[in-house]
Each structure stands twice: as C-alpha cells, then as structure tokens.
Amino acid sequence: MRTAVIGAGSWGTAVAWLLGGKGVEVMLWAREPEIAEGINEDHRNPMFLKDVAIAPCVTATSDIERAIHGAEAVVIVTPSHGVRGVAEQMSASLERTVPVVNLAKGVEQGSLMRMTQVLEDVLGHRERLAAISGPNHAEEVSKGVPSATVVAAYSENVGRFLQEMFMTPFFRVYTNPDVIGVELGGASKNVVAVAAGMSDGLGYGDNTKATLMTRGLAEMSRLGTHLGANTLTYMGLAGMGDLIVTCTSRHSRNRALGEWVATGGTVDSYAAETHMVAEGAKSAVALDDLAHSIGMELPITHQVRSILYDGHKPSEAGAVLMGRSAADELHGMGLIEDEG
C-alpha cells in the first residue's frame, strides 16, 4: 500500500520509519526541501532523529500534492497549529474516500476545535477521519522500544484499517470510538506536563509532581466528559498513559518547557534553543478559553497559561493552587459535575 506522511519532524520521521519497516510505500512530506533531499540521498533525516536509518521504501518530497497523489491513507504529523494549513493545501486534490488520521495533539486557538474538527471543517467527510494518541515518544518508537497507542475513528472500519496499518510486534494499537476523549486527552495532558516541569524546575519533590498529575487528570476528565467524552478513556493510554510519560520522561518537550520557564526561560527562548514545538504552550490558552466558554474552571491549566504569557511566577502559582477551597476529591474526577 502507499501512505502519505505529512510532516517530517521527530514524530513524522518515526512514523515513516515504522511504516517503512513494514514494507509500506511511504511518501514523506517535509516543509523544508533540504530535509526531503537529505532523506532521499542518505535515508536519514538531517535535522530530526538523525541516527535513525529509514527504509528505502520511504521517499520524501516538499511538494504536498505529490506526497498525497495515489495515497491510500494520509497521516498528518505536523504541530497542531499547522494542521489547518496542510489540510487546505491538500483539499483540492485529496480523494474524498482516503482515510486521514491526525497525530497532532492540540486544540486550535480561536476556533477551539479539536484536530479532527479542523480537518472536517476543511476536508469534509467526517467518517474517514481519525486520531492517534498515546504514550509514544518518537525517540523510543524509532528504536523499536515496546509501545502502545490508541486509534479513535468516527467509523469502525476506518479504525480497524488504521489499527492494522500501524500495528507491529513492538507497536501495539488499540481502537477506541471515543474521538472526543482521545483528542482532548492528548491536548490537555501536555499542559499538565508543563506544570510538572515547572515543579521540577522549582526543585519540588515527588509528592508535588504526583499531586499535579493526579489533579491534572481530574481536570482532563472533567473537561472531556462535559464535552461528551467517555470518562474511562482517561484511565487508558490516551489519558493516564500519555500523562505519565509526558510528565516524567527526559524526552518530553512539554515537561522540559516547564522546567525551562521555572528556571528563568521563556516560551520563545525555549523554541529558539531547541527548535522544538511544545504543544502545551498553545494548548494552555486554547483549553483555558474552551473551559471558560462552557463555564468551567481548570485551575492548573489557567495557572500554566498565566505563567507562560501573563508574567505570573511559578512559585506563586503553587500557593494559589494549594490555597483553593477544600473539596471532595471525586468531584474533580469527572464522576460528579462540579467545578472543584
């Protein structure tokens, strides 16, 4: 089969490596022509995951129409703020029956749409859309480290198709019909990971991080269930699993961003230093706005936003969160409607 992978960053490169290792013919789209040239000449990405050898059945191009021509599936692996743009570039020539799966984890600022909603807005035909999310660091997937993920599709047939396409002996793929929960879980866990990184940067301990992760999971599930997600999704790979790895791993951009900011850096200086996108920085704004639009409060998310963009100090945020009114723990777990 022939698959187009749209985006040649770390995760896009890892996906191309994974599919290429199965013998799938992959056309990898890179925004930068020099990346495409490097992959075609050396079978390695010259900028991301430089040590990963990519199979000969993977070729690259900076022409997006060429990338999707004849594709039986399209995998979008750009940052979330780039999803609408690449969808618009594909819209005129992409066949309406071709499955499109998004791997970006975010909510669009302004529209407050999930990524499959953005794709539907541009491409239409919701039944062919899907999302993949889970505890999947590109650095480990590209080395064949045993991992698992979740594919959430509006159509069961599309979900099963993508499950089979991505499944390998070291990359286990589960299906889940809860597209809302899987997408919102992937976006919101990044914000909690930024908070966890701030905790690390301030020198706080394991107790603090465990508290942030647990109450962060409460925020995640409360928002998701209010918008129609299944609470149990947040106990799975796209919820708790992804939250754990993103808050604790040395590979986590979002955790690293939080630590960077807590030790005096900024969002812009982190991006300039690492050439990486930490999705939690944009998601903090979009998710805070989304919560406010439905009359809901997300305390951790709001504090992360305030620190990243409004000049608030991480040390002061801890006092704000710890000083909130006492509440019943279960009220924050999406089991009982409450703002706690």
What's the DSSP call for residue 331? Answer: G
Place of tokens 């075609």: 40
pLDDT band at 232 (very low <50, low <70, confident <90, very high): very high
Whether the CB-CB separation of 53 and 44 falls below 8 Å is answered with yes
Which of 198, 219, 218, 220 minimizes the C-alpha distance to 209?
198
Given a cut of 80, is residue 335 above it in pLDDT? no
pLDDT above 90 (res 245): yes
pLDDT in the model for residue 153: 98
At 58, give phi and psi (nearest 5°).
-100, 120
- The CA-based diameter of the chain, rounded to the nearest angstrom, is 61
Residue pLDDT, tens place only, 163-214: 999 999 999 999 999 999 999 999 999 999 999 999 999 999 999 999 999 9
DSSP 8-state class, residue 126: G
Distance CA 135, CA 141 (A): 10
107 DSSP 8-state letter: B
Tokens found for residue 322: 């710890």
DSSP-derived letter for residue 238 is I
State the pLDDT at residue 325. Answer: 76
Percent of the chain with pLDDT over 70: 97
Q: Which has the minimum average pLDDT: 146-150, 152-156, 322-326?
A: 322-326
pLDDT surpasses 70 at 336: no
> What CATH number labels 188-332?
1.10.1040.10
Which residue spans of the chain are classified as CATH 3.40.50.720? Answer: 2-177
Mean pLDDT of the chain: 94
**Catalytic: 105?**
no
Residue 323, pLDDT above cutoff 80: no
CATH 1.10.1040.10 intervals, the chain: 188-332
Alpha helices in the chain (DSSP H): 10-21, 33-42, 64-68, 83-90, 115-123, 138-141, 156-166, 179-201, 206-226, 242-248, 253-262, 267-274, 279-293, 299-309, 314-322
Residue 234: phi, psi to the nearest 5?
Answer: -75, -10
pLDDT at 333: 58
> Do 280 and 219 form a contact (C-beta atoms < 8 A)?
no
pLDDT at position 275: 82
In degrees, to the nearest 5, what angle opens at C-alpha 265 toward C-alphas 303 and 270?
A: 100
pLDDT of residue 327: 76
Q: Using CA atoms, how far apart are residues 241 and 91, in angstroms rounded to an integer?
A: 34
Tens of pLDDT, residue by residue over 296-309, are 999 999 999 999 99
Which strands form 100-102's sheet, in the order they lie side by side? Answer: 58-61, 25-29, 2-6, 73-76, 100-102, 129-133, 147-153, 171-175
Which residues partner with 149 through β-bridges?
173
Determine if the pTM surpasses 0.85.
yes
Choose, from 50, 105, 143, 189, the residue flagged as catalytic: 189
What integer is the mean pLDDT of 119-148? 97
Q: How confident is the model at residue 120 (pLDDT cuts 50, 70, 90)?
A: very high
Hey, what CATH topology would domain 2-177 get?
Rossmann fold (3.40.50)
CA distance 76 to 293: 28
Query: In the chain, what percentage of residues exceed pLDDT 90?
Result: 89
338 has pLDDT over 70: no
